[in-house]
């Protein structure tokens, strides 16, 4: 926010996950509102026009009483508008789906767009901006479960609506918050699914900072992946330098200026092969205590090197924490003697030097490779691997799904649904929803009991099994109802957890990165971890411009009719163009 103000930007565009959870604590919300008021309200003149239909852009939630951009509100003095979609952490949930961005939107601090309520034949209306001779259209799609969105794309049910008068005169940006890296056959969104008339894809969700524009030679657009602004997990990709980007657009050209963040806590990740440290021949000649002393000495020297590096690379900014995050991932495959290595005792010597002493060491073994022809089985040892190691092999959810898709009927779950339980497992692993599995089991049991009570007149084991199979098919065929039941169960899990949360224990450094007073600040960290041919729509419409005056009572009519049409867009290409 401070960089945006110093650089005198027109507006701020966010790719989701402004918050780490759907119901942030009062302290987090207070800090967020305070920062937005400090940096985004003021007397600076808005030098661009928003010419699209704001009633469509900002009315996806029926509870929104202010379906217009905040800088057009005569009661607000907005100097830097913020536009944001929701991510997978702060997504709408509950019977009447709401998220923190709805609250910020109602407060007039954020312009929340890209919230799709109906997940069939999705029509995305862009935000249409005009400044001088430059026309900019921004499409937004908030986070949707990857498997479902993958299926929607395959059915060609996503339509990006374009201005009808002069579609080729617009610079087109698409903001998306999904898996970019494949975690399974359908657990990601391939870049080839996206429309080729787009110029830039702003890709949220992925934490690796790959902010330098990457050109997709098949679709002929650029992908910009800003990454997370702080390290939220101790995975390898988080150690990359964090940046924000200043995007400058003139007609159909653009330039991105990378700005490194100065107040982010430093993070260093090192992979270590124990076989490179200790000769396997020594296993038979030295006692285990001697071997552990050798490992202790090596790790101590390595950590001290990283601490020296952190001191040299510290920006000197007064708000950058002094203590770095350090992660040593040690592969001790073939060194079973080190099963008893006391890493907790070892890290005590660095308790006052690093921010995450308890999670600094990660010992793991590689699982044995299975032949392709072997029967697919769950590997208990693989599931024990920490999340950041596991993500390089395969996610737990994918392993479980593969198992149930491959096993015979005798090993299938009768009452519990795979989709429901995998969703709960994902919530437990990725979002620390400790009650997700419990509440999901309770919900599935209740649904099964109610169904059997209504459908059975007598208790017969064979009839019960037959009815449970019928219930499972009903769930599969009625995906919308199943998703609603799953969301309700997850919401109950979140509410149960929030009852136990103590707002007084919130760690400000996780929000602002400027407080280094708590050695356990990172205990909650997860261990995971030239242009193309344009499509033109038929139809005609005119653009009605809107302007912004000065002082109270200024502004033009709200929700002016823009220049998009409800005509379905042409289908996307699926592969390399000929």
Contact 360, 347 (CB under 8 A): yes
On the 0-12 / 13-18 / 19+ scale of CB atoms within 10 A, 281 is exposed
Tell me whether residue 428 is in a domain. no
Tell me whether residue 13 is in a domain. yes
Tell me whether residue 539 is in a domain. no
- 482-521: b (≥16 Cβ within 10 Å) or e: bbebbbebbbbbbeebeeeeeeeebbebbbebeeeeebeb
Residue 112 structural domain: 2-260
Helix, strand or coil, per DSSP, at residue 328: strand
Tell me whether residue 540 is in a domain. no
What pLDDT does residue 540 have?
35
Contact 219, 210 (CB under 8 A): no
Tell me whether residue 8 is in a domain. yes
What pLDDT does residue 417 have?
75
Tell me whether residue 518 is in a domain. no
Which regions in the chain score pLDDT beneath 70? 60-64, 94-95, 281-286, 337-338, 340, 367-412, 414, 429-432, 456-462, 477, 479-480, 498-578
What pLDDT does residue 405 have?
61
User: Residue 153 maps to which CATH number?
Assistant: 3.60.21.10
Q: Catalytic residue, from 20, 27, 86, 89: name it.
A: 89
pTM value > 0.85: no
What pLDDT does residue 261 have?
93
Tell me whether residue 567 is in a domain. no
Please give the tally of structural domains in the chain: 1
Active-site annotation holds for 89: yes
Tell me whether residue 225 is in a domain. yes
What pLDDT does residue 340 have?
66
């Amino acid at each position: 926010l401070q960089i945006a103000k110093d650089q005198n930007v027109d507006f701020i565009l966010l790719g989701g996950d402004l918050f780490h959870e759907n119901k942030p604590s009062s302290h987090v919300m207070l800090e967020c509102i305070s920062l937005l008021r400090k940096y985004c309200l003021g007397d600076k003149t808005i030098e661009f026009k928003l010419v699209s239909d704001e009633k469509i852009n900002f009315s996806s939630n029926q509870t929104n009483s202010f379906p217009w951009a905040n800088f057009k509100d005569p009661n607000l003095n907005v100097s830097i508008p913020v536009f944001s979609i929701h991510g997978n952490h702060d997504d709408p949930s509950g019977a009447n789906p709401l998220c923190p961005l709805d609250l910020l939107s109602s407060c007039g601090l954020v312009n929340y767009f890209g919230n799709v309520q109906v997940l069939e034949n999705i029509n995305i209306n862009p935000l249409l901006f005009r400044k001088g001779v430059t026309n900019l259209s921004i499409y937004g799609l908030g986070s949707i479960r990857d498997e479902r969105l993958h299926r929607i794309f395959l059915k060609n049910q996503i339509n990006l609506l374009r201005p009808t008068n002069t579609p080729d005169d617009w610079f087109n940006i698409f903001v998306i918050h999904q898996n970019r890296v494949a975690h399974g056959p359908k657990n990601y969104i391939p870049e080839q699914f996206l429309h080729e008339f787009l110029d830039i894809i702003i890709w949220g969700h992925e934490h690796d900072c790959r902010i330098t524009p990457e050109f997709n030679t098949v679709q002929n657009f650029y992908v910009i992946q800003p990454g997370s602004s702080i390290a939220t997990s101790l995975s390898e990709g988080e150690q990359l330098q964090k940046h924000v980007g200043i995007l400058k657009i003139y007609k159909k050209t653009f330039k991105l200026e990378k700005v490194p963040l100065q107040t982010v806590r430093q993070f260093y990740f090192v992979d270590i092969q124990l076989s490179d440290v200790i000769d396997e021949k020594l296993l038979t000649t030295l006692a285990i205590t001697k071997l552990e002393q050798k490992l202790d000495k090596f790790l101590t020297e390595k950590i001290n090197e990283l601490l020296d590096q952190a001191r040299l690379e510290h920006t000197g900014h007064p708000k950058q924490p002094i203590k770095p995050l350090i992660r040593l991932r040690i592969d001790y495959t073939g060194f079973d003697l080190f099963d008893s290595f006391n890493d907790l005792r070892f890290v005590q010597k660095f308790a006052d030097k690093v921010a995450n002493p308890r999670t600094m060491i990660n010992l793991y073994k590689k699982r044995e490779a299975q032949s392709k022809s072997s029967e697919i089985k769950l590997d208990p040892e693989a599931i024990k691997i920490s999340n950041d190691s596991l993500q390089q092999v395969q996610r737990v959810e994918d392993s479980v799904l593969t198992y149930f898709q491959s096993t015979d009927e005798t090993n299938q779950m009768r009452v519990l649904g795979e989709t429901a339980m995998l969703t709960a497992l994902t919530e437990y692993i990725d979002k620390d929803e400790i009650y997700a599995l419990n509440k999901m089991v309770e919900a599935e049991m209740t649904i099964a009991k109610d169904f059997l009570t209504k459908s059975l007149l007598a208790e017969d084991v064979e009839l019960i099994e037959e009815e449970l199979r019928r219930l499972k098919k009903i769930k599969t065929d009625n995906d919308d109802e199943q998703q609603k039941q799953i969301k309700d169960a997850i919401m109950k899990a979140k509410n149960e957890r929030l009852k136990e949360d103590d707002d007084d224990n919130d760690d400000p450094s996780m929000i602002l990165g400027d407080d280094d007073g708590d050695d356990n600040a990172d205990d909650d960290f997860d261990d995971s971890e030239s242009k193309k041919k344009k499509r033109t729509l038929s139809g005609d419409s005119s653009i009605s411009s809107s302007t912004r005056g000065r002082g109270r009572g200024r502004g033009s009519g709200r929700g002016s009719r823009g220049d998009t049409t409800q005509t379905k867009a042409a289908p996307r290409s699926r592969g390399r163009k000929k």
